[in-house]
Amino acid sequence: MTAELNKKSGLETLRAAISRLEGHSDRRRKMLPFGVREIDSRLPGGGLALGALHEVAGGGNDALHSAAAGQFCAGIAARTRGKVLWIVTRQDVFAPSLKQVGLSARRTIYVEAGSDVDVLACFEEGLRHGGLGAVVAEVARLSMTASRRLQLAAETSGSLGIAIRRWRRQTDAADFGQPTASVTRWRVSVLPSVPLPVPGVGRPRWLLELIRARAGECADFEVEACDAKGRLAPCSPIADRLSLPAALADGSDQEAAGQRRARA
Amino acid sequence: MPLALVGREGRRRVLLSVDLAARKLGLRPGIPVAKAQALYPDLVLMDADPEGDRLGLEKLALWFQHRIAPIVAVDAPDGLVLDTTGADHLHGGELPMLKDMVHRMAGAGFRAKAVVADTWGAAHAIARYGRAPIAIVPSGGTDSALADLPLEALRLPSTIIEGLATLGVARIGPLAAMPRAPLTLRFGPDVARRLDQAFGRIGEAIVPVRPVDPVEVSRNFAEPIGAAETIARYIGKLVPLLCQGLDERGQGVRRLDLLLHRIDSRTEAIRVATAMPVRDVKRLTRLLCEKIETIDPGFGIERMVLIASLAEPMDRRQTVSSLIAEEEADVSDLVDTLANRVGTQALYRFAPVESDLPERSFCRVPALAPEETKDWPDHWPRPTRLLARPEPVQAMAELPDQPPLFFIWRGVRRKVKCADGPERVFGEWWKNDAELTIARDYFRVEDTSGERFWLYRAGDGEHGETGSQGWFLHGIFG
């Protein structure tokens, strides 16, 4: 028992020493949990760290369009407080869709910068300000130096910075392998939507790959896309497939549905 | 009805200017009134009012000073000259700035031409005698741009132009190539001076109009200054004085100009703009200091003037502290910093517009515009990315209202697994007659790999007049 306690306190002192070396010993890191147990338990601190830079890219064709990645980031930004700065080089965000994941157009200020260099400058300016809920920037190239500057700016002000990596050509997307100073790195790929018992498109699903997490491990998650408040939901294929017919069935079919559920 | 303005030239009554309709009839300034009336009895004649024109032009100059650039002067009788160095960034570059100017003038009922060139002379010439309503002469391209213009473009008295015409010189190019000494001997120093001014060989100071009673502070230097740190230090000394002046009047600044008079009698200018009236010393100092690198101090700066060219009343507000809600942070300073970096129109929010057509359902409003109460309806999912213009795709679908079975976009064939729709959108006939019969059917489709797209068919699938019945891809879902 005492040995275990000793071991634990030893770990604590080591952790304290490391965080002191990293330069944020006195500040308690704030977190933004996803609200999905599988994801939050894998992230150090139990959520997405505020005051840090995170990178998100789309997988497959989405590396060019960043539709899923954009919606994922909008969902995160929607769950913060305060205004959101969204920096782009070419504007193709459709504002009504951001509203549908809970990010109101009243909160979102867009900056249309001329080049990647301008995007990074505005990104850093936004992170340094500290009064914003989140700063989202769409960039193609993010060097180690630039990302370190952004990370430092985010750390000092406590703002949440999200870099959406978005490339013009599929071949450029290999750039995502290069190391940067961001705290976590995500790849969002679309999956076929939740099947419905009637014709139509169900709730979209994504494959979330946590490619890198500082002081954490990589992981893959299958989730259902953001709802009207920007929250993800864990994928539960079996429950869905059964609960929907059960909900649709009426009266006499209820029993049959119950039996089907019991068999499953 | 053609219209012409009448004035005196010596003892004759002549037309001084004519409108477009009169110009089409063949009337030109300089034609005697009697002749014009004899030719076209229904010509409307009005007396010219040069003094009123000048006053109007001065008013316009002040308006330009508020909106566009700190150094604006009247270029009598029919123009304005602006030094836009250090101010075009606020408008997103030179071309958008010119477009904006011409557009605003058109809105006020004037047909204006706008030109950016290296020198006053060149801009004057090309604006009046060039073809395009908007032109930007690249730095160093003045010579070729001026060569073909007539001599009238050089701001020379008409006697000299007539004299040169008798010599057979009608264009600027040949005139510039002629030896100077005989020209000066015959016509005086004006010809050489105007040529040099147009080609930028000698400077020409623009004496700006002054806003009425501005808050202004200045500082003279016994020794000219030039280093960036020194300029920053004196900015730091001037701004508090300015803010004190603003405080006495209860105003805040919207446009702040720093004019730096160099010892070679040229003026450098920095302009910063704010989205709301500001009187904060630290913030204004920072905005100005960020622009120091754009200044060319030359041989030194002997006088610094800080002018609040556009000040607006700023009332003191009691800060409301609430026990329940946390006050949302003020981001107006960030908006100003970014606007001075990327331009005001590159910083915006989207606001809803009541329209069913997706590309018309939003508009850009200033970042700090008052919050609108409306919102987009929530009936149907909307794509995260909306293509700037819908891209045509090849698709096969059952008529009249089934979703496509497959479609080919950018050379990739995608089989549709499931789809939602149609969502029918009708043309807005109250805006445009051609849209009376137009309809679009929107479908949200998912292909076999799980990618989701927003497709529409131009037309309702039954009636030919509703559209081409072709398929388009308009957006991409997450």
Interface of B with A in 363-422 (CB under 8 A): 367, 371-372, 375-376, 378, 381-388, 417-420
Which DSSP letter does residue A36 get? Answer: -
Residue pLDDT, tens place only, B157-188:
888 888 888 988 888 888 888 888 888 898 88
pLDDT above 70: residue B437: yes
For chain B, what is the mean pLDDT? Answer: 87
For A122: left if phi > 0, alpha if psi spans -120 to 50, otherwise beta; the answer is alpha
- Cross-chain Cβ contact A108/B350 below 8 Å: yes
Residue pLDDT, tens place only, B282-297:
889 988 998 888 888 8
Question: What are the backbone dihedrals phi and psi of residue B120, each rounded to the nearest 5 degrees, phi first?
Answer: -60, -50
- Give how far B342 is from chain A: nearest CA, Å: 6
- Give how far A243 is from chain B: nearest CA, Å: 20
pLDDT above 50: residue B412: yes
Residue A257: what pLDDT?
Answer: 44
Considering CB atoms only, which of A92, A93, A192 is closest to B450? A192
- Cross-chain Cβ contact A190/B478 below 8 Å: yes
A81 CB neighbours in chain B (<8 A) are 326, 328
- Give how far A252 is from chain B: nearest CA, Å: 30
Considering CB atoms only, which of B350, B362, B452 is closest to A201? B452
Residue pLDDT, tens place only, A97-112:
999 999 999 999 999 9
Q: How many Cα atoms within 13 Å fall on the side-chain side of residue B27? A: 32
Interface test with B, best of A138, A201, A203, A205 (most B CBs within 10 A): A201
Strands (E), chain A: 31-32, 48-49, 52-58, 84-88, 108-112, 134-139, 160-165, 184-191, 205-213, 219-224, 233-234
- Cross-chain Cβ contact B386/A92 below 8 Å: yes
- Cross-chain Cβ contact B478/A204 below 8 Å: yes
pLDDT above 90: residue B318: no
- Cross-chain Cβ contact A126/B338 below 8 Å: yes
- Cross-chain Cβ contact A83/B328 below 8 Å: yes
- Cross-chain Cβ contact B446/A200 below 8 Å: no
Q: Among B8-12, B153-157, B386-390, name the one with the lowest average pLDDT.
A: B8-12
Q: CA dihedral defined by B328, B332, B334, B335, rounded to 10 degrees?
A: 120
- Cross-chain Cβ contact A81/B346 below 8 Å: no
Residue A30: what pLDDT?
Answer: 83
Percent of chain B clearing pLDDT 90 (strictly above): 24
Interface test with A, best of B384, B389, B415, B442 (most A CBs within 10 A): B384
B446 CB neighbours in chain A (<8 A) are 192-193, 201
**Closest residue of A to B89, CA-based?**
A114
**Whose structure tokens read 């679908």?**
B397
Interface test with B, best of A88, A90, A94, A157 (most B CBs within 10 A): A94
Binned at pLDDT 50, 70 and 90, residue A76 comes out as very high
Residue B231: what pLDDT?
Answer: 92
Q: How far is CA B372 from CA A110, B47, B333, B350, B361, in A?
A: 16, 49, 22, 10, 14
Contact of B25 with chain A, judged by CB distance below 8 Å, is answered with no
- Cross-chain Cβ contact A100/B341 below 8 Å: no
To 5 degrees, how large is the angle CA B428–CA B432–CA B438?
50
- Which domains are present in chain B? 3-48 (3.40.1170.60), 53-199 (no CATH), 215-313 (3.30.1490.100), 385-476 (no CATH)
Binned at pLDDT 50, 70 and 90, residue B319 comes out as low
Residue pLDDT, tens place only, B226-249:
899 999 999 999 999 999 998 888
Interface A–B counts its CB contacts (< 8 A) at 165
- Cross-chain Cβ contact A131/B330 below 8 Å: yes
Contact of B286 with chain A, judged by CB distance below 8 Å, is answered with no
**Closest residue of A to B379, CA-based?**
A100
pLDDT above 60: residue A14: yes
B332-342 vs B281-289: helix crossing angle, rounded to 10: 20
Considering CB atoms only, which of B346, B352, B385 is closest to A92? B385
For chain A, what is the mean pLDDT? Answer: 84
Contact of B449 with chain A, judged by CB distance below 8 Å, is answered with yes
- Give how far B62 is from chain A: nearest CA, Å: 30
Interface of B with A in 298-327 (CB under 8 A): 326
Contact of B95 with chain A, judged by CB distance below 8 Å, is answered with no
Q: What's the ipTM? A: 0.82
Residue B327: what pLDDT?
Answer: 63
Residue B54: what pLDDT?
Answer: 87
- Cross-chain Cβ contact A200/B375 below 8 Å: no
Q: Does domain A29-231 have CATH number 3.30.70.600?
A: no
Question: What are the backbone dihedrals phi and psi of residue A99, each rounded to the nearest 5 degrees, phi first?
Answer: -60, -35
**Closest residue of B to A203, CA-based?**
B381
- Cross-chain Cβ contact A190/B417 below 8 Å: no
CA A229 to chain centroid, in Å, comes to: 14
For B293: left if phi > 0, alpha if psi spans -120 to 50, otherwise beta; the answer is alpha
- Give how far B91 is from chain A: nearest CA, Å: 13
Interface of B with A in 211-230 (CB under 8 A): none
- Cross-chain Cβ contact A111/B342 below 8 Å: yes
**Closest residue of A to B367, CA-based?**
A109
Residue pLDDT, tens place only, B107-129:
888 888 899 988 888 999 998 88
B413 CB neighbours in chain A (<8 A) are none
Q: Among B313-317, B321-325, B464-468, name the one with the lowest average pLDDT.
A: B321-325
What is the mean predicted confidence (pLDDT) over B364-381?
87
Q: How far is CA A92 from CA B81, B183, B389, in A?
A: 38, 60, 10
pTM for the whole structure: 0.74
- The string of DSSP letters for B319-354 reads PP--SSSPPPPP-HHHHHHHHHHH-GGGEEEEEE-S
Contact of B46 with chain A, judged by CB distance below 8 Å, is answered with no
Residue pLDDT, tens place only, A166-181:
998 888 888 888 899 9
Domain edges within chain A:
29-231, 237-264
What is the mean predicted confidence (pLDDT) over A57-64?
90
The kind and range of the H/E element at B185 are helix B180-187
- Cross-chain Cβ contact B378/A100 below 8 Å: yes
Interface test with A, best of B333, B350, B454 (most A CBs within 10 A): B350
Residue B333: what pLDDT?
Answer: 87
Q: What gap in Å lies between CA A104 and CA A80, rounded to an integer?
A: 12
Residue A26: what pLDDT?
Answer: 47
Contact B422, B452 (CB under 8 A): no
Residue pLDDT, tens place only, A205-255:
999 999 999 888 899 999 999 988 889 988 865 544 444 444 444 444 444
- Give how far A195 is from chain B: nearest CA, Å: 9
Residue B382: what pLDDT?
Answer: 92
Residue B324: what pLDDT?
Answer: 59
